[in-house]
Structure 1
Amino acid sequence: KDKVYDYYDSVYSADAGQAHYDKERLNCGRRPKWADTDTFINWADDKMIHEKWSPDVVVGFASNQGLFSSTIIPCTTTLYQWIDRGIMKTTNLDLLEKLSRKIKKLDHKPRLNKRILGTPIDERPAVVETRETFGHWEIDTVIGNKVKSDAVLLTLAERQTRFEVILKLNGKDAYSVDQAVQALRERAGENFSSLFKTLTSDNGSEFAGLHEALQDRVDVYFSHPYTSWERGTSENQHKLIRRFLPKGKPMTDVSEAQCLRIQQWMNDYPRRILDYQTPHDCFVKALQQERTAV
């Protein structure tokens, strides 16, 4: 009769149960990479906002160069998601290429040239198309506000390395192009033959003198009308130029120094197609190989 018995009765509390569940949820699942450190995020924001790098280039360059631990570098898709969710300072407005991307119908049916300035692209060696060798260039112009008196940019893109040359011309005419090409030839000097093997352009009247001016040193080929894909390297390079010089901007207002800065940015911009190397680095390596081969 001296024994004492204790009895316990469990009463469920919804609030206590929810609190316990919430606490346990904090420790389950995989932690997002951005939760561990903001080192990569700060670097990526700087590259995308101030240096106008794309998310894919940011991820690829950081991974290839070993700039950060792989545990904090996301994949390209994840980085886009971070931008969309507001985790980054970068917004979609900073990604000019994403905003301007359009899906085009592939209707690659070349038309016959009404104007024949020289050797058609059909006769261009296959090795140029495959980009197996160095020294094959595409030449084109970038216009501003379509006023005849406005200046234009003459662009040359090396197909294998994507190295870009930008020259400002007083007008979109054959004389201006010929003068610029001649100046480029003199500047290259004894390296001209190593640098330039072929040149491909469209059938614009401004390129009417190319074949004559370069036929003794460079093979010049002309693409079909309305076939921009035949000069795809130039087209893609122009998209990068348009990040700085949008359509409608008078090229007369663009200084030589500005052209040089844009050219330098493009040549120092890592490319996925180059395994995230820069066009400048690839260009130097290719030119050194050309000299060694000779």
Structure 2
Amino acid sequence: MDCHDYITVEPERKRGQHLGQEERGAIQQLRKLGYSLRAIATKINCSASTVLNELRRGTPTRKSSRGRAPEYSAKRGLAVYKANRMQSRRHHRILYCADFINWVVDQVRTQKWSLDVCVGHARLHRQFAENNIVCTKTLYNELAAGNLPLSVFEVPELLKRRASRKRGREHKRLKGRSIDERPAIVDERVEIGHWEADTVIGCKSGKEAVVLTLVERVTNNYLAIRIPGKNSESVIEAMEELRAEYGDRFSSVFKSITTDNGSEFEKFSTVENWGSSIYFAHPYSSWERPVNERHNGLLRQYIPKGVSIEKYTPADVLRFADELNSRSRKRLGYQTPEELFDAFLDSLYAA
């Protein structure tokens, strides 16, 4: 009985494909039979120039005028073809961007910039010619391949994993108005003046200084204030200092503040007496304050986990925040939070 699932006729070679072992064997035999270049090309369905190039690859160079002329060998042609293919790979772009790569390495190590910030900042300010800059993806690929003079531990953001969003536990009592009551305009990030707050601790054991952090959701302007302890009194004292700094404009600068349910924010609702709206995220739902959590992670580049904050002065903590505010951000079009927030204050006080 005939079987219709198999064929014995091999598919015809398509023009444009590289020559295979069978085509090279055909060239060798047809050449011995005296076929011309065009006749061989017609037989194996390729151009005459392809046959000529293959003959040149597979024919050894004649060393003297004596004896027979060297003939084409399909085996030799295949070997030369494979050797050429090994050398035909595209060279890494970073080999032609040494100045840019050296600058990136310096920014990562001294300024703690991410690779993407380096690329965006360099392009925005035209520090290098466009053909001397590689894209963010290329930099991360070269880092993963070990072709950059950096280790993955010098780019800590690369090692972070996205945390799963878990629903908060309902049994813990909120210390004020729920985030569910917060206006929708806050989520849209179109109006400046809405902040997120939290505290950053050093050592978990013992009573010591912590850092009160606030970040503006639109400009990403970051405030970091060293306070004596993780308690409500220290938090309120820090907020009173901010109120004294901005005076009558406090409620315009801090239109709303969203914080978590930590014990240090037990009395935070009193800030509403100054004209600001205070909201509390659901318990165990840090993802509801994403901007603040993100920036607290950046602060860990300066204050690692487990290191006592007592080792840092209030001036040190303020300097860390200033460095973060002077860092270009992709979400801001590679502008800095400092530039955008200063422009907001200028317009506020001008009005």
Q: TM-score, with normalisation over the residues of structure 1?
A: 0.87
Q: Write the letter of the residue equivalent to 2:178.
A: P
Other-structure match for 1:283: 341
Other-structure match for 1:222: 280
Give the conservation status (yes or no) of the 8 Å contact 1:194–1:287.
no
Once the 2 structures are TM-superposed, how far is the Cα of residue 194 of structure 1 from its aligned partner? 2.8
What pairs up with 1:1-20 in 2 under 5 angstroms?
Answer: 9-10=69-70
Once the 2 structures are TM-superposed, how far is the Cα of residue 111 of structure 1 from its aligned partner? 3.3
Task: Say whether residues 1:93 and 2:153 are aligned partners.
Answer: yes
**SS of alignment partner, residue 172 of structure 1:** coil
Q: Using the aligned pairs only, state the percent identity.
A: 36
Runs of 5+ unmatched residues, structure 1 = none
What pairs up with 1:7-156 in 2 under 5 angstroms?
Answer: 9-10=69-70, 28=88, 30-99=90-159, 101-107=160-166, 109-112=167-170, 114-156=172-214
Give the conservation status (yes or no) of the 8 Å contact 1:168–1:259.
yes
Task: Say whether residues 1:262 and 2:325 are aligned partners.
Answer: no
Give the Cα separation in 2 of the matches to 1:279 and 1:123.
27
Give the Cα separation in 1 of the matches to 2:197 and 2:225.
11
Please list the CA deviations of residues 217-243 of structure 1 after superposition, one character each: whole Å capped at 9, or x if unmatched: 111111110110111111101100111
Larger Rg belongs to: 2
CA, structure 1 residues 182+67, in 2 after alignment: closer, same or farther (shift >3 Å)? same
RMSD in angstroms over aligned alpha carbons? 2.7
**SS of alignment partner, residue 211 of structure 2:** strand
Give the Cα separation in 2 of the matches to 1:147 and 1:21.
64
Please list the CA deviations of residues 89-120 of structure 1 after superposition, one character each: whole Å capped at 9, or x if unmatched: 21212111212x1243333x233363232211
Once the 2 structures are TM-superposed, how far is the Cα of residue 289 of structure 1 from its aligned partner? 3.5
Once the 2 structures are TM-superposed, how far is the Cα of residue 35 of structure 1 from its aligned partner? 2.5
Give the Cα separation in 2 of the matches to 1:113 and 1:192.
34
Give the Cα separation in 2 of the matches to 1:39 and 1:200.
44
**SS of alignment partner, residue 199 of structure 1:** strand
What pairs up with 1:227-242 in 2 under 5 angstroms?
Answer: 227-242=285-300
Give the Cα separation in 2 of the matches to 1:217 and 1:287.
18
Once the 2 structures are TM-superposed, how far is the Cα of residue 159 of structure 1 from its aligned partner? 0.9
The one of 312, 330, 334 aligned to 1:272: 330
**SS of alignment partner, residue 203 of structure 2:** coil
Give the Cα separation in 2 of the matches to 1:121 and 1:113.
16
Give the Cα separation in 2 of the matches to 1:228 and 1:18.
61
Give the conservation status (yes or no) of the 8 Å contact 2:97–2:133.
no
Give the Cα separation in 2 of the matches to 1:249 and 1:82.
32
Runs of 5+ unmatched residues, structure 2 = 1-64
Once the 2 structures are TM-superposed, how far is the Cα of residue 132 of structure 1 from its aligned partner? 0.8
What pairs up with 1:237-248 in 2 under 5 angstroms?
Answer: 237-248=295-306
Give the conservation status (yes or no) of the 8 Å contact 1:110–1:227.
yes
Please list the CA deviations of residues 8-41 of structure 1 after superposition, one character each: whole Å capped at 9, or x if unmatched: 6126799999789868976x55443223241111
How many residue pairs align between the two structures? 286
Give the Cα separation in 1 of the matches to 2:260 and 2:82.
67
Of structures 1 and 2, the one with the larger relative CO (CA 8 A, separation 6+) is: 1
Q: TM-score, with normalisation over the residues of structure 2?
A: 0.74
Once the 2 structures are TM-superposed, how far is the Cα of residue 52 of structure 1 from its aligned partner? 1.2
Task: Say whether residues 1:176 and 2:231 are aligned partners.
Answer: no
Give the Cα separation in 2 of the matches to 1:31 and 1:210.
58
Once the 2 structures are TM-superposed, how far is the Cα of residue 288 of structure 1 from its aligned partner? 2.9
CA, structure 1 residues 51+18, in 2 after alignment: closer, same or farther (shift >3 Å)? farther
**SS of alignment partner, residue 335 of structure 2:** coil
Give the Cα separation in 1 of the matches to 2:284 and 2:95.
50
**SS of alignment partner, residue 120 of structure 2:** helix
Once the 2 structures are TM-superposed, how far is the Cα of residue 185 of structure 1 from its aligned partner? 0.8
Please list the CA deviations of residues 237-277 of structure 1 after superposition, one character each: whole Å capped at 9, or x if unmatched: 11001112121111122212220221111101111111211
